[in-house]
Amino acid sequence: MDLKIGNTPVVGIKNRRGARIMAKLEQLNPGGSIKDRIALTMIEEAEARGQLHPGMSIIESSSGNTAVGLAMIARSKGYTVYAVCDQNVPAGKLTRIAALGAHIIYLPPTPPGFDSVELRIAIADTLAAELPDAISTSQFSNPDNPLAHELGTGPEIWEQTGGEVTRIVAAVGTCGTITGVGHFLKARKPGIEIRAVEPRGSVIFGGERGNFLIQGGGLSFIPANLDISIVDTSTHVTDAEAISAIYRFADETGVLVGGTAGWVLHDLYRLCEEASANDVIVGILPDGADRYLDTIYSPDWLKRNGFALPARSSAPSVMNRIAGDLGCTVNTVEGGGRTSVDALYMMMGLPLPETLLDA
């Protein structure tokens, strides 16, 4: 089956500097994220080496997206996927993993603020060693991860910009994206600037270790896949800054993106104020909103975690009145005082039957 992974589009970001600033929408991969790319490459390269054949099991430590990609591809190839996840993985990701037939292995409860990634990796490696006919794809140290981006994402960006790209902005976690894209582009244009963004509290590029709520990247250690020599600039982004950038992007483009995309967008909006007219900048947005509807797109979650709710225009009073007369409500599910049968009679211009009036 040809899943059409890759060749994702870019959308322009308006700026006053005359620069070409674009966001590459990885959510339009068939599994909904950039991790589809590495899932396919890790599986195909393992097959080519004779390490993987139908009937075997694939085990991976994942915050969700890699497990989705692996499960999607494995299902058509006859593999069983076991995803080792902690209990902070958003429900939207877990639902997709399970729907694709993969098994989810949950970590035992951990203390507040505990970084579970290294524990997840250790458990995945142990399971792969003890389960017959199983391998761990080990995305944090597997060279096939950056290879996927050196062969795919990097060449796509080069083609989409006509070779004129001057800066790349990428979120970091496993560091496969930034390493693979960086290798490809620096080989063709040594002067290109490769910019890494991570959440405040992640220490891949230094800083003080701490907690962050946006999930899907950032680490308390430096992954083996990182080639730090190709990274020119790094920055830390707070949860609040990322969420603000996500909602701004939605207002400007109508596109809803995922949490880690907020780190990239925050840096892109900063570059909107300082780029030159000769700049061609591409930010890689890892996934979409469907994984985060119960977190960064939930007003309750935002309030519970102390974030300001995004500005939202109120419905005109006339709409509230008309909807209310029909028993409906606007932007709330509270009862409007009438039933749907009442509304039907009113719209037909018929008087309410006495049985309904007496009800």
- Distance, in Å, from the CA atom of 72 to the CA atom of 183, rounded to the nearest integer, reads 28
Q: Is 35 a catalytic residue?
A: yes
Beta carbons within 8 Å of 135's beta carbon, 6+ residues apart: 46, 51, 52, 56, 57, 58, 59, 128
Distance of CA 267 to the CA centre of its chain: 16
184 and 161 in contact (C-beta within 8 Å)? no
Q: Which among 289, 264, 236 has a CA at the least distance from the CA of 178?
A: 264
Q: Find the farthest-apart pair of alpha carbons in the chain and give their distance in angstroms, rounded.
A: 81
Beta carbons within 8 Å of 132's beta carbon, 6+ residues apart: none
Catalytic residue among 35, 77, 189, 303: 35
Burial of 88 (0-12, 13-18, 19+ CB in 10 A): middle
Q: Which residues are catalytic?
A: 35
